[in-house]
A and B are shown apart, each in its own frame.
Chain A
Amino acid sequence: MNEQHTGHEHTGWQAEMKVLLREPPLLISITVLFLLFGLFIIYPFIKILMVPDAEHWMRALTAKEFLEVFSHTLFSSLVATTTAIIFGFIFAYAVNYTNMPGKRFFQIVALLPTMAPSVVTGLAFIMLFGRRGFITWHVLHLQTDLYGPVGLWVAQTIAFFPLAYITISGVLKSISPNLELAAQNLGARGWYLFRTVTLRLATPGLASAFLLVGINSLADFGNPMLVGGNYHVLATEAYTQVTGAWDLPMGAVLSVFLVIPTLLVFFVQRYYLEKNSYVTVTGKPVAGLIRVTAGPVATWCFFAFCAVLCAAILMIIGVVFLFAFTVAFGADYTFTLQYFREGVVQSKVLLHSWSASMITAATTTILGIALAFLTIRKHFPGRTVMDFLAMLPVSLPGTFIGLALILAFNEAPLELTGTMAIIILGMTLRQLPVGYRQAVAGLKQIDASMEQASANLGANSFTTFRSIILPMLKNSLSVSFVYAFMRSMNTLSTVIFLVSPEWNLASINIMSLADQGFLPTASATAVGMMLTIYLTFGIVKLILRDKINIFDL
């Protein structure tokens, strides 16, 4: 738990520049990254910022309805993030610190909410727990109404707890058991041990997860759209300003408002969390140490918690399956493959989604780790700017990214609209922050002394990166790959404006089908999507074996 400086000494940007010049490959990669950021983040951003004029800004700042929307957004994402983090933490702790039965099963189920498109899960959620919900109305005879802040809270908690879980799980995994064992030897037990050692060590990771989930939920689109009812948030309002009120400038202004919380988050991160680093991977041997596990009572409590949560998830997914494989859900439960044939077998969209998502996942993982290595371990002018730019896209509503991209890349020389490239670009921008954040969190846990040792032995930055950093970041890399792939498969708002007749995607098709009342085909496509994701992970796992963690996050 040593607080220390990493990398080279600070001596102003001139000194940093000198160091850079000594390593031309490093200089080149930094320059290339800045150019890419300039072209694909800053340029589209400026392009869309030029759309609104002063009058739009004034109206957005003074109109009561927009202020209300702004406060709704902050409130709903704050409560949902809090519960998602609590759920995610309990889940991650249960998976990493107990010997509860069915662990593997829980781990797989917990990923489902991220894998299934929110359009169908949202509808299934309403059908189970809504006004005429199967559980709430038919079984329990309750008068519930999910439309509004409460339903949104529940839906977002379920939707975002997997992200919290995998991020926190990564943090818990990297806590070296020897500290806990030492505490135990000194007499610490149970709650006291948890509170004084484990929780303390996990705090920076928790805060980081909180911020990540927080900005994701700020920009969330699918859930507020489906269960928000008359409760509007910025992401949906920005979208409907564009598509409903035909007011592109106002949509852009509202989207920019979402950047404000992200800026806050960014500074909190920079100036508070970075001061409290807890390095636990020091290169000293820890192998063979067995992690302290929770007692039997605690284990069974954890088991009950995970079981209830997973049951709720499975019910929601179950309804999607029922929709997909019965003639008419609610009226005729005869098994049929007709919808599966229409939505999956005879459709090319899943293949498109798969290709685009695979490329995106690979790109964001590699780019994320490269960026994290540069911003955490290297000192160069513009480091903070790079850090900020890598995080910026997460806060923007997907539709804003999509619109900015078509405004920026519709004409020669960079005419990308109507191609697969622009879809991948949009997805990559959207997922990059998660990949980057995961890599940062992973890197921060690793003591820089090992890299310094490598450097002392004559390795340059790239060799150190490849043979020291990469192997130690297996879990972070796995998380960002798995998560980016799943999210890209069912991202909706980002690609709404990017798909074309030639390159349509499964997620868009699902929304379009549901929108036209073809729920069974939409559900069948969603099932096909989940199967594709699991199959892909299975195959990747078979190929890479121990080089990647997929279901054991």
Chain B
Amino acid sequence: MKWKALAAAVLAGTMMLAAGCGGDSSSGAKTEGGEQNLKGKKLVMYVSFHEDTAKELADQFKKKTGAEVSFIRLPTGEALARITAEKDSPKADIWLGGTSDAHAKAKADGLTEAYKSPNANMILPEYQDKDGYWYGTYLEVMSIGYNENRFKEEFEPKGIKAPETLEDLLKPEFKGEIIAPDPRKSGTGLTFISSVLQSMGEEKGWEYLKQLKGQVAQFTPSGFAPAQKTGAGEYLIALNFISDQMLVSQKGQKIHSTIYKDAGWTLCPVSIIKNSADKEVAQAFVDYCLTKEAGEILVRTTNGVACNPDVAPPEGQKPLSELPLFKEYNMEKAGEDKQMNCDKFFAE
């Protein structure tokens, strides 16, 4: 107990010192391009989205500031477990990506720390934590995807209409052909059931989910797996994020994706891990993630929609304001109700 209090005191002291140094020209030195000079500094990240996205962000950040960036990709849950286990002596400075409910949990558990970024106004206020614990970088949106080849060969000749709405998924001809992520284990799965419950209302929502559950052949632990298995033709319909479906599609296994009405979504945030080794470089990285330039990298490599409204949407997709998203989706409530809703969903 005493130990912790001491650590907190030291921490507070360091923070004040750091704040005091903010105006100091030596630590916040700018390079010619108006960027901070962070040469010789090191940044370690846990990344919970695609590796190539992280690599490009890291490379650009290094080019601009001179800081050395190293990272390892860990799925959201693993990253959270790791940060929790390492909390007294963290081994990384930044947690980038994953779902916002996980970042909200990290905030609640005291694993991350607040930072008021000067670039905070670059992204829409609804996509950042009000206390500055995490900032959204891009949005992942739920979509109904189906395997084009299989649909044309096996379903279209029978006069079956392509599945594009949530109601379509309940049709008997699609029974056993749908694959979706497990809400207990995947942020994608949780986003789906929570957004359905919130948009349809408890009563109608549960009625829908109960019926849908009977249609789904498999609930996967990974949010990406449904797209991959649908691409391979094992199942006809994938219910997950559109960026995952587009990724498979671009590799040659065509998946037709539709963002349905009142689609659920999540953010891929960036957070600074508490007691990280080098706050200055971590904060500079957060600032960088919110810029238009970083947003463009994110959109190009993920097919997601940037939280920075100045960034153009990915090719063939509508801008954020025109997507049929369920705008009122409350992620914090989804996180709070997780256990209860999952138990109810899987109860017979």
Q: Give chain A's interface residues, CB within 8 Å of chain B.
A: 65, 126-127, 130-132, 147, 225, 229-230, 236, 240, 242-246, 248, 328, 330-332, 403, 406-407, 410-412, 415, 417-418, 496-497, 499-502, 504, 512-513, 515-517
Q: Which of B28-85 contact A (CB under 8 A)?
A: 44-45, 50-51, 70-73, 75-78, 80-82, 84-85
Question: What is the minimal beta-carbon distance from A189 to any residue of chain B, in angstroms?
Answer: 51
Per CB-CB distance, the 3 closest pairs between chain A and chain B, nearest first, are: A243-B77, A244-B185, A501-B70
Q: When the two chains form their complex, are residues A248 and B75 in contact, meaning their CB atoms are under 8 A apart?
A: no
| In the bound complex, CA of A417 to CA of B72 (Å) | 14
29 contacts between A and B (CB under 8 A): A132-B233, A132-B234, A225-B221, A229-B218, A240-B185, A243-B76, A243-B81, A244-B182, A245-B339, A245-B342, A246-B102, A248-B81, A330-B232, A330-B253, A403-B81, A410-B85, A410-B86, A410-B91, A412-B89, A415-B89, A417-B89, A497-B78, A499-B72, A501-B72, A502-B70, A512-B73, A516-B73, A516-B247, A517-B251
User: Among the interface residues B70, B84, B85, B342, which one has the most CB atoms of the partner chain A within 10 A?
Assistant: B85
Question: What is the minimal beta-carbon distance from A353 to any residue of chain B, in angstroms?
Answer: 15
Give the chain B neighbours of A407 by CB distance below 8 A.
Answer: 85
With A245-B184, A403-B85, A410-B86 known to touch, is A501 a contact of B78 (CB < 8 Å)? no
Give the chain A neighbours of B232 by CB distance below 8 A.
Answer: 127, 132, 330
Q: When the two chains form their complex, are residues A504 and B72 in contact, meaning their CB atoms are under 8 A apart?
A: yes
B117 interface hit (Cβ, 8 Å): no
Question: What is the minimal beta-carbon distance from B331 to any residue of chain A, in angstroms?
Answer: 15
With A131-B234, A516-B51, A516-B224 known to touch, is A497 a contact of B85 (CB < 8 Å)? yes
| In the bound complex, CA of A517 to CA of B342 (Å) | 27
Q: Give chain B's interface residues, CB within 8 Å of chain A.
A: 44-45, 50-51, 70-73, 75-78, 80-82, 84-86, 88-89, 91-92, 102, 105, 182, 184-186, 217-219, 221-222, 224, 227-228, 232-235, 244, 247-248, 251-253, 338-339, 342, 346
With A244-B186, A248-B81, A512-B73 known to touch, is A501 a contact of B235 (CB < 8 Å)? no
| In the bound complex, CA of A328 to CA of B71 (Å) | 28
User: Among the interface residues A131, A230, A244, A410, which one has the most CB atoms of the partner chain B within 10 A?
Assistant: A244
Give the chain A neighbours of B222 by CB distance below 8 A.
Answer: 515
Q: Which residue on B lies nearest to A496, using beta carbons?
A: B78
Number of A-B contacts (CB under 8 A): 110
| In the bound complex, CA of A521 to CA of B184 (Å) | 30
Question: What is the minimal beta-carbon distance from B214 to any residue of chain A, in angstroms?
Answer: 13
| In the bound complex, CA of A82 to CA of B44 (Å) | 47
| In the bound complex, CA of A521 to CA of B269 (Å) | 27
Q: When the two chains form their complex, are residues A512 and B51 in contact, meaning their CB atoms are under 8 A apart?
A: yes
| In the bound complex, CA of A419 to CA of B314 (Å) | 40
Give the chain B neighbours of A242 by CB distance below 8 A.
Answer: 77, 81
Q: Which residue on A lies nearest to B177, using beta carbons?
A: A131
| In the bound complex, CA of A248 to CA of B235 (Å) | 33
Q: When the two chains form their complex, are residues B228 and A517 in contact, meaning their CB atoms are under 8 A apart?
A: yes
Q: Which residue on B lies nearest to A412, using beta carbons?
A: B89
| In the bound complex, CA of A126 to CA of B185 (Å) | 22
Question: What is the minimal beta-carbon distance from A194 to any residue of chain B, in angstroms?
Answer: 44
With A243-B185, A328-B251, A406-B85 known to touch, is A500 a contact of B78 (CB < 8 Å)? no
Give the chain A neighbours of B233 by CB distance below 8 A.
Answer: 132
Q: When the two chains form their complex, are residues B45 and A501 in contact, meaning their CB atoms are under 8 A apart?
A: yes
Question: What is the minimal beta-carbon distance from B33 to any residue of chain A, in angstroms?
Answer: 27
| In the bound complex, CA of A242 to CA of B85 (Å) | 11
Give the chain B neighbours of A332 by CB distance below 8 A.
Answer: 252
New A-B contacts (11) at CB < 8 Å, excluding given A245-B339, A417-B89, A517-B244: A132-B233, A229-B218, A243-B76, A245-B338, A246-B77, A246-B80, A410-B89, A411-B88, A412-B89, A501-B92, A517-B227
Give the chain A neighbours of B346 by CB distance below 8 A.
Answer: 65
Interface of A is mostly: loop
Question: What is the minimal beta-carbon distance from B99 to any residue of chain A, in angstroms?
Answer: 11
Q: When the two chains form their complex, are residues B184 and A240 in contact, meaning their CB atoms are under 8 A apart?
A: yes
| In the bound complex, CA of A242 to CA of B78 (Å) | 8
Give the chain B neighbours of A248 by CB distance below 8 A.
Answer: 81, 84-85
| In the bound complex, CA of A512 to CA of B45 (Å) | 16
With A328-B251, A500-B91 known to touch, is A244 a contact of B77 (CB < 8 Å)? yes
Q: When the two chains form their complex, are residues A406 and B185 in contact, meaning their CB atoms are under 8 A apart?
A: no
| In the bound complex, CA of A236 to CA of B182 (Å) | 13
Give the chain B neighbours of A516 by CB distance below 8 A.
Answer: 50-51, 73, 224, 247
Give the chain B neighbours of A515 by CB distance below 8 A.
Answer: 75, 222, 224
| In the bound complex, CA of A132 to CA of B247 (Å) | 21
Question: What is the minimal beta-carbon distance from B333 to any residue of chain A, in angstroms?
Answer: 16
Q: When the two chains form their complex, are residues A417 and B86 in contact, meaning their CB atoms are under 8 A apart?
A: yes
| In the bound complex, CA of A499 to CA of B74 (Å) | 10
Q: When the two chains form their complex, are residues B81 and A246 in contact, meaning their CB atoms are under 8 A apart?
A: yes
Give the chain B neighbours of A499 by CB distance below 8 A.
Answer: 72
With A242-B81, A331-B252, A499-B72 known to touch, is A418 a contact of B91 (CB < 8 Å)? yes
Question: What is the minimal beta-carbon distance from B3 to any residue of chain A, in angstroms?
Answer: 11
| In the bound complex, CA of A229 to CA of B225 (Å) | 11
Q: Which residue on A lies nearest to B43, using beta carbons?
A: A501
Give the chain B neighbours of A245 by CB distance below 8 A.
Answer: 184-185, 338-339, 342
| In the bound complex, CA of A364 to CA of B347 (Å) | 45
| In the bound complex, CA of A235 to CA of B97 (Å) | 26
Give the chain A neighbours of B84 by CB distance below 8 A.
Answer: 248
Question: What is the minimal beta-carbon distance from B233 to any residue of chain A, in angstroms?
Answer: 4
Question: What is the minimal beta-carbon distance from B90 to any residue of chain A, in angstroms?
Answer: 9
Give the chain B neighbours of A330 by CB distance below 8 A.
Answer: 232, 252-253
Give the chain A neighbours of B235 by CB distance below 8 A.
Answer: 131
| In the bound complex, CA of A407 to CA of B81 (Å) | 11
Give the chain B neighbours of A411 by CB distance below 8 A.
Answer: 88-89
| In the bound complex, CA of A236 to CA of B73 (Å) | 20
| In the bound complex, CA of A42 to CA of B132 (Å) | 41
With A417-B91, A497-B81, A501-B72 known to touch, is A517 a contact of B218 (CB < 8 Å)? no
With A248-B81, A499-B72 known to touch, is A328 a contact of B221 (CB < 8 Å)? no
With A246-B77, A410-B86 known to touch, is A230 a contact of B219 (CB < 8 Å)? yes
| In the bound complex, CA of A28 to CA of B43 (Å) | 45
Q: When the two chains form their complex, are residues A410 and B88 in contact, meaning their CB atoms are under 8 A apart?
A: yes
| In the bound complex, CA of A515 to CA of B91 (Å) | 24
Give the chain A neighbours of B252 by CB distance below 8 A.
Answer: 328, 330-332
| In the bound complex, CA of A534 to CA of B70 (Å) | 31
Question: What is the minimal beta-carbon distance from A411 to any residue of chain B, in angstroms?
Answer: 5
Q: Which residue on A lies nearest to B92, using beta carbons?
A: A501
Give the chain B neighbours of A127 by CB distance below 8 A.
Answer: 232
Q: Which residue on A lies nearest to B342, using beta carbons?
A: A245
With A127-B232, A243-B185, A516-B50 known to touch, is A406 a contact of B82 (CB < 8 Å)? yes
Give the chain A neighbours of B73 by CB distance below 8 A.
Answer: 512, 516
Give the chain A neighbours of B253 by CB distance below 8 A.
Answer: 330-331
